[in-house]
Structure 1
Amino acid sequence: MHEGQENVPFTSPDVEIRRAANKRAEMADDINKLFAFFSECKMQNSKFYWDMQLDEDGVVKNIFWSHASSQAEYADFGDAVTLDTTYKTNIYGMSLAMFVGASHHIQDTLFGCALLRDKKIESFEWLFKTFKNCMEDCPSPRCVLTDQDNVIAVAITNVFPKTIHRLCRWLILKNHSEALNILYARDDRIESELLLCVNQTYTPQEFENAWSWFIDEFDLQDSVTLQNLYEIRHRWIPALFKKDYCGRMTSTQQSESVNKLAKRNFVDHQTNLHSFARRMLDIIISREAKEAAETRACLGMPITKTRWSFVVQMSRVYTRAVFKLFEEALDDCTAFRIDMDIGNTNRWIVLDMEHSEKHDWCQLQFKVLADVQKGRYECECKQWEHTGLLCTHLLRTFIHAQVEKIPPQYVL
């Protein structure tokens, strides 16, 4: 444009001055620009919801907002919610709180988000009450997973008394990583065996047997860390709350992955409030695009060819991602033997035949109730109640009993 760099009428310092001036202009009147953006969203869709809490000086303390599409997602997938407040990705250092769930494509979906100035009980109670008001037409979540924060626990109990509160098992182990690493240094098997106790036990009794074996095997009776973890086992060990639905979520991984996405691609510690809210909308739009692409892919799924009618049924009603998990469980169930439980024609014993490398504490057989005429099915491993997905034991029974169609109440 200027026919040579030497003819450009401004220098690098001039550019920096201009950039700083633009930054100041963007920062000016930040709160009013945020409210203007919220008003714009409200005009575009009356279902857009936002609220704020002021401190004693009339200064904005906490802010919550939720777009109409997020509320629709909550109506469909709000049974299990994760909440993580570990990230501070804005210029004011406010904690980002995101209510996140998993969709029918097993993708992260955002229900609402907030910026909190502090992490006191009053702030979390305001946040949960505001979230509840936003989703007034929908019931409270069945299960909420958070980090190990007693303040959040108190607030959930006060606002959502019927909601089950569970702790993220990944964060539990991470918060105790320093002490656990000292234990891991004793024997390179300790970490893997601990994770086996946590992740690969199905029933409360199996977990108790596994934990007892683990403590005795490595002589860890004096470990204060393990004693503390054991005392709160009902809050974070999946085997101990299998009867409670949590939609395959036993950690706050959904919240953390969305947080990382926001921090990596959309916002940083210099982002002001009105830009922050706009970029969070960009995240929602990007997630919706991915969900739409997956939905289109599901429409092109071929009908599965199999001799089992219930598998064809599932291929028509499950999304591609869920049907893949279903097929994996169906394939695994071929390793099980099934026998009728003596004295009960509707009860079966499903036995794992590939147990050569398993521990003595492993539960190898499970009792399955299968009343085909009444369409009633139940397995003592409680995986269906916990995740909404049929376990290998039930699938093995379906094959043996020649079940043609799975009742709709077992298809979530």
Structure 2
Amino acid sequence: MEPQTQEASNSQRHTSDQNVHNVSDHMDEDVTSDAVDMDQYRINSWEDIGKIDFSSLSMKNICQLHFADLGLAFEFYNSYAKTRGFSVRKSRSIIVDGKVREKTYVCSCEGYRLEKWNHMKNRVREPKPETRCGCMSKLHVFFDAVTESWVVRDFCDEHNHELVVLKLARMLRSHKKMTEPDISQMNHMKEVGISMPNIFGSLASQCGGYENVNFSIKDMHNQVAKQRRQLPDDLTSAMAYLETLAARDQNLFYSVEKGREGVFRQIFWCDGRCQLDYDLFGDVLAFDATYKKNRYRLLVVIFSGVNHHNQTVVFGAAIVSNERKSTYVWLLKQLLIAMKGKTPTSVITDGHHSMVIAIQEVFPNAHHRLCAWHLMRNATSNIHKPQFTKMFTKLMLGNYEVGVFEQKWEEMVGFFGVEDREWIVDMYEKRNMWATAHIRGKFFAGFRTTSRCESLHAVLKRYIKSRYDLTEFVQHFQRCLSYMRHREDLADFKSSTGQPVMQTHFQQLERCQNFTSLT
């Protein structure tokens, strides 16, 4: 092999150099055949490397060393380099019969950068500083079949560049390393939503300062990226995580729909607690779509309601690729399957056309109410008259009889001359979905708007970042649910301890009101 020939010639050329020491010469001069003397130069473990005083280590001592394996040889040279202020890397190997028999470790400044990297016409990134300057420093070892160890053949410690001061040596490439405990701690802190800078600061505090940390924030990001590359594709990984949850929660339900060629379309999931909450509080269902909650910018749909403490409770969640009618039909059918066929009495949405059609198809007996806040915003954007929006809101929320409502509607649209506007005609046809006069007697659990959905989205922002992939989204969404359920537990505790203090003269009425709010 050509590299082997070149390596052999390099070895012969540098053996004659005065800065290169041959191990056999020193063995003849200083080392006896006594096995005890030989053992003092043998490196059997990383613990042996940790015991070496590199400040007093001579070149003669280094040339007498032999190592139990190649990894120890590299670790020794790298540790030595750190005390001197340079970085190392692995170079050529000589292979015989398919096995490595000789290995060279060199200074990171060995060789020169290829010219093609200096003259790139389509360069995007700023070029990195040139670090290679032809340094000849190296450690060359070979396998000795007699002692079954790796013996130092050549060692050169002459550098043609300035060495780094010791306090900065930890920043050199071969010395930046995250240990397994560091990686484990980073992953645990990352799972609970702590940012990388804060994780780095915490690790630095544990080490006694940033100067004692042997890696940077960029190294942490690189480690996270490496872990992602080792995992299967994102959707498979997300499903594997849900399978892990299902092993602990036998009632967990999830469903995935793929398009042609296995392309992801949507995923729906809900755990056993979601199903229990729906069984108790699922008479009123609110759902809305939000954007930019994941790295793919897919839509997130959350089904929610209200519990006995007037707190928002989640019944299920989904990530979808579009807002077509078929998508919402699929989602509602999955919800129906997960909830053992129980349908809601009332549904409140923002009035998206695809939602309306899907609800009519899947929940034909549920009363669909449109969000009051979205209607007020639409009134402003369609009519462009603040006074009209004010009158429309009063008419929408006012507790009128049907006849009074019809009269006031005619007066309002006539006063503003908007009888023929398309939005006005559409709203009148849908008055059974938004006017209090026409929905009197229907149960909505206090819902008038999807504001609870909006507030839920605000809570999600504290747990979910836009850079999260599907797996991370599901993980942190479940963490958000755990917090919400913790708040419900706190409310249960408060309601079961002590008695409320009456604050009015109508104590019997107030006591009944307090009891109703607690139950």
Report the CA distance between 1:134 and its aligned residue. 0.2
Say whether residues 1:209 and 2:407 are aligned partners.
yes
The one-letter amino acid paired with 1:183 is K
Greater shift, 230-239 or 95-104, is seen at 230-239
Q: For 1:298-357, what per-residue CA distance to the aligned partner results, in whole angstroms no more than 9, with x for missing partners? A: 2323364866756544444531xxxxxxxxxxxxxxxxxxxxxxxxxxxxxxxxxxxxxx
Say whether residues 1:26 and 2:225 are aligned partners.
no
**For 1:249 and 1:83, how far apart are their aligned partners in 2?**
12
**For 1:69 and 1:230, how far apart are their aligned partners in 2?**
40
1:258 to 422, 439, 456: 456
1:115 to 310, 319, 322: 319
Q: Is the 8 A contact 1:143 1:164 kept in 2?
A: yes
Question: Which residue matches 1:155?
Answer: 358
**For 2:375 and 2:514, how far apart are their aligned partners in 1?**
37
Report the CA distance between 1:127 and its aligned residue. 0.9
Give 3-state SS (helix, strand or coil) of 1:46's partner: coil
Question: Which residue matches 1:379?
Answer: none
Using the size of structure 1 for normalisation, the TM-score is: 0.68
Say whether residues 1:199 and 2:397 are aligned partners.
yes
- Counting matched residue pairs gives 312
Q: How much identity, in percent, do the aligned residues show?
A: 21
**For 2:390 and 2:348, how far apart are their aligned partners in 1?**
24
Question: Which residue matches 1:242?
Answer: 440
The one-letter amino acid paired with 1:295 is D
1:282 to 479, 494, 501: 479
State the Cα RMSD in Å. 2.9
Say whether residues 1:56 and 2:260 are aligned partners.
yes
2:281 to 77, 80, 98: 77
Say whether residues 1:129 and 2:333 are aligned partners.
yes
Change (3 A) 1:159 1:223: closer
Report the CA distance between 1:243 and its aligned residue. 2.3
**Structure 1: stretches of 5+ with no match in the other structure:** 320-411
Give 3-state SS (helix, strand or coil) of 1:57's partner: helix
Report the CA distance between 1:54 and its aligned residue. 1.5
Q: For 1:35-86, what per-residue CA distance to the aligned partner results, in whole angstroms no more than 9, with x for missing partners? A: 2211111111101111111112123321011011111111111001011013
Structure with greater contact order relative to length (CA < 8 Å, sep ≥ 6)? 1
**For 1:86 and 1:265, how far apart are their aligned partners in 2?**
15
**For 1:169 and 1:4, how far apart are their aligned partners in 2?**
67
1:267 to 456, 459, 464: 464
Question: Which residue matches 2:347?
Answer: 144
Greater shift, 126-135 or 310-319, is seen at 310-319
**For 1:235 and 1:313, how far apart are their aligned partners in 2?**
32
**For 2:360 and 2:309, how far apart are their aligned partners in 1?**
31
Q: For 1:347-396, what per-residue CA distance to the aligned partner results, in whole angstroms no more than 9, with x for missing partners? A: xxxxxxxxxxxxxxxxxxxxxxxxxxxxxxxxxxxxxxxxxxxxxxxxxx
Q: Is the 8 A contact 1:238 1:250 kept in 2?
A: no
Report the CA distance between 1:128 and its aligned residue. 0.9
Q: For 1:164-212, what per-residue CA distance to the aligned partner results, in whole angstroms no more than 9, with x for missing partners? A: 22221212232453234x212xxxx444333222223343233323333
Q: Is the 8 A contact 1:303 1:315 kept in 2?
A: no
**Structure 2: stretches of 5+ with no match in the other structure:** 1-82, 84-164, 177-214
Report the CA distance between 1:244 and its aligned residue. 1.7
The one-letter amino acid paired with 1:275 is E
Using the size of structure 2 for normalisation, the TM-score is: 0.55
